[in-house]
């Protein structure tokens, strides 16, 4: 890893402060921030509203050169720590970040799995069946779907990772989320 050339890194933010960390990091010269968002419908007493939530809660992807910028990034308001393995800061290959951006159509906001959308169940006891999304449960990364089993409709909650939508990006998102989870769980010490 070359400390003077920019590379992508994953950083952990303070709880529910991804937007603050991203805004503060964007103020730094020579730091690129990628914070993909998921549009989610929330029910409020006044009605249903569409809000944006982080696709990777608690994490941001940042691109910067370690040598001049490490301490500035590390001590930016909203940043908790950079993801690392022992004492090694693990860069993320640029091609993986680009693939994620392409999977999200080069934007930072992605729509949730929408009610009424047809999906295929890929894993588990219902593998191979078609289902219809009833509602998306973003905090739990689960979806309530309607399946037809033995001629009867049954409502079942499944993990998002078990489903494949007709849209082109869910598989890439699942892989990116799994990769980010593995990177975070491999971090030693804070």
Instruction: Catalogue all structural domains in the chain, each as residue range(s) with its CATH number.
Output: 7-112 (3.30.70.940), 118-165 (2.30.30.30)
Residue-level pLDDT at 128: 86
Closest CA to 36 of 72, 15, 10, 65: 10
CA pair distance 160, 174, nearest whole angstrom:
8
Note the pTM of the prediction, 2 decimals. 0.59
Cβ pair 109, 36 in contact under 8 A: yes
Interatomic CA distance for residues 184 and 62, integer angstroms: 15
Span of 16-30, 66-80, 84-98, 129-143 with lowest mean pLDDT:
129-143
* pLDDT 10s digits, 10-45: 999 999 999 999 999 999 999 999 998 877 667 778
Residue whose token pair is 């952990």: 12
pLDDT recorded at residue 45: 85
Give the CA-trace dihedral at 9, 11, 17, 23, to 10 degrees: -30
Give the model confidence (pLDDT) of 103-159 as tens digits.
776 455 555 666 777 888 888 888 888 888 887 776 666 778 888 887 788 888 888
């Amino acid at each position: 890893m070359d400390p003077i050339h920019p590379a992508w890194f994953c950083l952990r933010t303070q709880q529910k402060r991804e937007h603050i960390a991203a805004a503060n990091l964007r103020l730094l010269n020579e730091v690129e921030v990628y914070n993909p968002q998921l549009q989610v419908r929330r029910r409020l007493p006044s009605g249903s509203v569409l809000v944006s939530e982080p696709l990777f809660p608690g994490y941001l992807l940042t691109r910067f050169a370690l040598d001049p910028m490490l301490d500035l990034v590390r001590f930016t308001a909203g940043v908790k720590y950079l993801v690392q393995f022992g004492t090694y800061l693990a860069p993320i290959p640029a091609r993986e970040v680009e693939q994620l951006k392409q999977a999200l159509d080069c934007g930072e906001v992605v729509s949730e799995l929408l009610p009424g959308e047809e999906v295929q169940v890929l894993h588990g006891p219902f593998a191979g069946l078609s289902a219809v999304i009833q509602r998306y449960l973003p905090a739990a990364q689960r979806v309530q779907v309607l399946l037809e089993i033995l001629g009867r409709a049954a409502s079942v909650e499944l993990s998002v990772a078990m489903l494949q939508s007709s849209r082109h990006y869910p598989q890439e998102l699942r892989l990116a989320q799994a990769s980010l989870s593995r990177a975070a769980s491999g971090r030693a010490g804070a």
